[in-house]
Structures are given as C-alpha cells and as structure tokens.
Structure 1
Amino acid sequence: MPTALYPSPIVGPIHSRRLGISLGVNVNPSDGKICTFDCIYCEVGYNAMRRPTLPRPSRHHVAECLERKLKEMKDIHKKLDVITFSGNGEPTTHPDFEGIVDDTIRLRNRYFPAAKVSVLSNSTMAHLPAVHRALERVDNNILKLDTVDFDYIRRVDRPTSPAYNIDDIISTLRSFHGNVIIQTMFMKGTDINGQDLNNTSDRYVTPWIEALKLIRPKQVMIYTIDRDTPCHTLQKATHEELNNIRDRVAAEGIDCTAAY
C-alpha cells in the first residue's frame, strides 16, 4: 500500500493546491490513524492498516513544537500562508482540540499574523459544542461534504459510526451561518466490488448543489485525487468535469474553486 503517514505534531511547510504555503498540525499519533471515516481514497490508508501504538501529542507538546517551528521560519524570513490542521485522520477527535486551536491562533498572531488558520475536517464532530466553538474561531473552517447520497457515503467515505446521518451533517453545516468552506472530492473509477464511483454526474451533483444552497457556505472547494490511494481502482475527475461543476455552483451565487 503506497500511502504514507505524517509526522506529529508538525508537518512541513508544504505547498497546498488549495491553500498555498502550509504548515501542518497533526494532532493524531505519528505511527497511525484516528478517524471517524475510513475513506477509500485516503492518502494515509485504511484505518485497519494504520492502528496507532503511540498516544496523541498533548496540547502542551503541540504548542511547544509549533512555536519552535514558527520562530525558526520567522528567523530565516520564510513565507507562510496558512497553518493547517489535518494529518493522520480527523483532527477534531483530539480531546483538547479547542485548546490547541486557541494556542495556534495565539502563536500565529505572534509570529505570522497575516497567515490563516485552517482546519480540514470530515464534519462528523462539528456538532460538539467545543469543536463547534473552535471551528468558528479559525479563518478557514473547511468541512467535508462529498455527496448527500448515503449509499455513496457508505461505500466511499465509510463512516465508522452507525449513527452517521447526512441530514444531521447538513444541519450542523448550516449552523455555522455561512462561516464554513465546503470541501468535496469528485472522482471516478470503481470500488473493489466493481461498483461505479463516478460522482460527477447529475445524479450526485444536483442534490449536492441543493444542499449547498441550504448551507450557503462562504466558499466551496472541489478537488480530485492527487496522491496515492489505498483503493487502486479509483480515477481522477477531469478538468472539464471539475470546471463544469464549479460553474454550476458559481451560477447559484456561491464562490467555488477547483483544484486539479
């Protein structure tokens, strides 16, 4: 399996297709994955293959390592566009997520006040009060909504909780009152059972856009596969397909960008 784990707690800086020069914050263990999804396109790999043996980094350790890296970058006049929570799984599962976000904002303000703080999340924990508060405070609250078709979600995103409900997710996304960026993966190919996974067609795009009209996000980011995936039968969406979807979203008065 050609997928790879990220170090913890600091990653990079790296160049992000969507965010620019990004310094990653991985609040999950460096030797495994903790996630409420088990996506077949996850660049980190399947949950079952990535069981961690190490603990999550503590709030204090994250802040200490982040400050050291920010100071180093400032001292040598490196550019920084964004500090991004992502890494080995779902960042909002960390029990001190809200406190870590507060520390990150404080350190950003001290060393790189023009940089943004972003969170890449699968939306499953965003209804929790502490997580919701933290997501409201960051600059880029980027939450996943790959589709509104539950059968597709079950086959592709594969939520680990049987209580997952797409209507609840949409309700949570609406509760940010526009202070949210929706992130959606479009792709083609098949799953291991040979079932078609093309979500670029009207069957998936039209109801997804209807959900966006309810959520009214400040931006939508659509993208396709860019790195190795644990399911090897997946394929990239084409530039033409992404551009068409982008234009349909924009026609509804919602800012939308496409990353290829």
Structure 2
Amino acid sequence: MSTILYPSPIVGPIHSRRLGISLGVNVNPADSKICTFDCIYCEVGYNSWHRPTSKRPSREHIASCLEAKLKEMKAQGSSLDVITFSGNGEPTGHPQFLGIVEDTILLRNRYYPEAKVSVLTNSTLAHIPEVHRALELVDNNIMKLDTIDPDYINKVDRPTSPAYDVKEVIEQMQLFKGHVIIQTMFMHGTDDLGNDVSNTSDRYVDPWLDAIRRIKPSEVMIYTIDRDTPCAHLSKATHDELNAIRDRVAAEGFECIAAY
C-alpha cells in the first residue's frame, strides 16, 4: 500500500488525533527512513524501502528552521498545542538528540510557552543516558509498548537489533517514575507471511495491562490504523474493542485515551 515520507526538519503544523495542533520535528533525512523497528504498520513504510542517502539534519539546522517556523506562525496568529518529535523513523537515534530537545524547549518557551513538547519513541534507545535525560525534559514522553509477547514483537514491530528485550524496555519505562505515556497499537489482520497479528484478545491485553500496572504511566494512549501501511493485510480494531480496552485501563486508575 502507499506510504509517505515526511519533510525534514519541520513538518506541518498538522492536526494529531491524540495531541491537537502539532508542529512536527523530523530529525531524520527527508528522503529516507532510519529506525530501530521495522513495523509492518508504519505509515513511512519498511526500512528497506527508504535506505539512507543523506545525512540527518544538524542540531543547528533544526533549531534555525524551527525558530523560523515558530516566528512565522506567531506572526500569523496561528495556534499551537504541541511540538512533536516523530517523522521518518526513530527520533532518539539522532546523535545530537539531547541538545536538539534542549534547543526546542528554549524556542518553545520564547514563542509558544503554553505548547507542550512531545517525543514519539519506540522505546528502544531509552537505556542511553542522554536519551533518558532528553525524555525526562519533554512534557510528553510517549513510549511505544504494543505488547509484551516476544513472538508478536518480532512479527509486528520487528526490532532491527537481536538484543532487543521487552523486559528490559519495561524496566527502562519504570525508571521514569510516572513521567511516561504508553502508546499502543491495536489492530487485526495478518503479516506478509500470513501470520495472525490481531492483538485485541485477552491473550495479549491481560499481560500488557499487567505491564501498565508495573510502569505506572501518567497516561495510556491506545489507537488503531489510520493511514496506509506497508503490509496490505491489516485492518482496524473496532471502536467497541478499543473502548473495552480503554475501560479496563481506566478501571486500574490510569487515564486512557482511545484514538479511532
């Protein structure tokens, strides 16, 4: 199915289902994808489709472009709810990520002090001290946890490193002591090999919910497919399914948002 690449380093602003009016920061190249996951539902496509052909934008270039855009939006009287790190792959992999976050917070304070700074991360690099520090600094540290089942992770999220261990990822999430928002994709369908990848049943939800209890996040975001995916055999979780999972999370005392 058709997928997209985002401009770099500034995207939008766009309307996010979960975050509102969002100005994106893409710290990866505009013509390629750099990611430590190779998710079958990624709107940017598979890693092999977009091999790096250029360098990541520098810290200085990102700050310059972001300031120019914020000035323009301010002059036009535009609203802004959030500045969001996402884009063409995993943002925390940029070697200057901590400095970029620090620059972004300074610019946010100068132009849109009420806006939040968010990071959408697949959680694979949170063990790196500089990445952990950057995620502590932002308002919304949004970390992916689609399941705790290793077989499912290998079929759907497809980590690029064989050292990936979801138990260690959960331990890293716990270290944020509540300064973390868990983001989970629920869906139906099969992967490209015909394996079932539906994850709305108790088989997946029960252990995932147990991990939520251990992590103690400030919020949980559950969502389903909204855009084209590289795997053509995927379909949405239903409203009723998402609502039921949302209600189970809420019953445990955690705020939960369901995006359809």
Superposed displacement of residue 192, structure 1: 1.6
Give the whole-Å Cα distance in 1 for the aligned partners of 2:198 and 2:105. 38
Matched with 2:58 is 58
Matched with 1:10 is 10
Q: Give the letter for the 1:138 counterpart.
A: V
Tell me the secondary structure at the aligned position of residue 207 of structure 1: helix
Give the whole-Å Cα distance in 2 for the aligned partners of 1:241 and 1:99. 40
Matched with 1:178 is 178
Give the whole-Å Cα distance in 1 for the aligned partners of 2:204 and 2:215. 17
CA displacement, residues 12-39 of structure 1 (integer Å, 9 cap, x when unaligned): 0000000000000000000000000000
The yes-or-no answer on 1:194 pairing with 2:184 is: no
Superposed displacement of residue 77, structure 1: 0.4
Q: Give the letter for the 1:195 counterpart.
A: N
CA displacement, residues 190-236 of structure 1 (integer Å, 9 cap, x when unaligned): 11222111100000000000000000000000000000000000000
Give the whole-Å Cα distance in 2 for the aligned partners of 1:178 and 1:45. 32
Q: Give the letter for the 2:139 counterpart.
A: D
Matched with 1:67 is 67
- The size of the alignment, in residue pairs, is 260
Superposed displacement of residue 189, structure 1: 0.7
Backbone CA RMSD of aligned residues = 0.5
CA displacement, residues 145-172 of structure 1 (integer Å, 9 cap, x when unaligned): 0000000000000000000001100000
Give the whole-Å Cα distance in 1 for the aligned partners of 2:91 and 2:20. 20
Matched with 1:168 is 168
Tell me the secondary structure at the aligned position of residue 172 of structure 1: helix
Matched with 1:150 is 150
Give the whole-Å Cα distance in 2 for the aligned partners of 1:36 and 1:2. 21
Tell me the secondary structure at the aligned position of residue 38 of structure 1: coil
The yes-or-no answer on 1:131 pairing with 2:124 is: no
Tell me the secondary structure at the aligned position of residue 126 of structure 1: coil
Tell me the secondary structure at the aligned position of residue 95 of structure 1: coil
Give the whole-Å Cα distance in 2 for the aligned partners of 1:147 and 1:223. 13
The runs of 5 or more residues in structure 1 that have no matched partner are: none
User: Taking structure 1 as the reference length, what is the TM-score of the superposition?
Assistant: 0.99
The runs of 5 or more residues in structure 2 that have no matched partner are: none
The yes-or-no answer on 1:105 pairing with 2:105 is: yes
Superposed displacement of residue 54, structure 1: 1.0
Superposed displacement of residue 65, structure 1: 0.0
Superposed displacement of residue 45, structure 1: 0.3
Give the whole-Å Cα distance in 1 for the aligned partners of 2:72 and 2:54. 27
Q: Give the letter for the 2:95 counterpart.
A: P
Matched with 2:46 is 46
CA displacement, residues 67-105 of structure 1 (integer Å, 9 cap, x when unaligned): 000000000100000000000000000000000000000
